[in-house]
Amino acid sequence: MTAQEDGERHRAVPGPSGGDAGVDGRPAEAPDVTTPEWLASLARAGGRMAVPAVMRPPESGGRRSAVLILFGEGEHGPDVLLIQRNDGLRRHSGQPAFPGGAFESGDEGPEDCAVREAVEETGVDPLGIELLGRLPELYIRPSAFRVTPVLAWWREPSEVRAADSGEVAGVVRVPVGELADPANRIRVRHPNGSAGPAFQVRGMRVWGFTAAILDRLLVLGGWEQPWLDGQEAEPVFLPGNGPGGDGRRATRQQRGSRES
């Protein structure tokens, strides 16, 4: 299903920073809604985020894609929406991730793509989403995806679930406080030998591309806390390549969860 086929159901509300600029190139008029200052500040800082050399896109090539970084306010404070991908997928099998995917023919920009994918994967109501802006384009070398992260405010939370059962095993709102807690932060060694941050939250081990973005957002948002001393990088195993598979620990309670 493309954004064009599904029409206005996949349209989110453009935010005060011109989140709909990817559609017509011009900032849209801000709606009469209030974005929390912590998130507005994060959106401003995110647009200027430094991109590590390993994540800089090449001058040409790669498949265009987008992810939706959807922040809300839950009973435990600020949170962010993540999905748990199913095992057996050709790419990113079993990994926690932001909702998102590759551009389709009806997508006019990263915002269209990110929101459409989030609707298809989680069933989120796009009318409750306020678009705030973009992070710099990033590159995932193993899959050759050029990814534009789109920041958004979950102004009116709706029920979410594993709407695309073929790709998504679970959907969960993860409190920022849990991501920032040093007890939940670890370092992992990726299958390619490099090391990076990871998070043990809500029954999931979040690592790789998603963890790298979350790690930077914790810094930009002023939430980062000192790491625990003496941590060594733990190996991450891809499905079928080692103990515990991919480290997936999603629980059934995450399926169809609604935490507002």
Supply the pLDDT for residue 20. 42
Q: Give dist(CA 28, CA 99) in Å, integer.
A: 24
pLDDT beneath 50, residues of the chain:
1-7, 9, 17-32, 238-260
Please give the radius of gyration of the chain, using alpha carbons only, rounded to the nearest integer: 17
Task: Report yes or no on 190 lying in a domain.
Answer: yes
For residue 118, the number of C-alpha atoms closer than 13 Å in the C-beta half-sphere is 37
Structural domain including 152 reads: 3-251
Task: Report yes or no on 219 lying in a domain.
Answer: yes
Task: Report yes or no on 259 lying in a domain.
Answer: no
Supply the pLDDT for residue 254. 38
Supply the pLDDT for residue 258. 39
CATH number of the domain bearing residue 152:
3.90.79.10
Supply the pLDDT for residue 223. 96
Task: Report yes or no on 256 lying in a domain.
Answer: no
Task: Report yes or no on 159 lying in a domain.
Answer: yes
Supply the pLDDT for residue 126. 98
Percentage of the chain surpassing pLDDT 90?
62
C-beta atoms surrounding 192 within 10 Å: 7
C-beta atoms surrounding 241 within 10 Å: 11
Task: Report yes or no on 53 lying in a domain.
Answer: yes
Supply the pLDDT for residue 231. 63
DSSP letter assigned to residue 35: -
Supply the pLDDT for residue 248. 44
What's the one-letter identity of residue 236?
A: V
Supply the pLDDT for residue 81. 98
Task: Report yes or no on 257 lying in a domain.
Answer: no
Task: Report yes or no on 260 lying in a domain.
Answer: no
pTM higher than the cut 0.85: no
Assigned token pair, 178: 């849990």
Supply the pLDDT for residue 230. 60
Beta bridge partners of 189: 195, 235
Number of domains the chain contains: 1
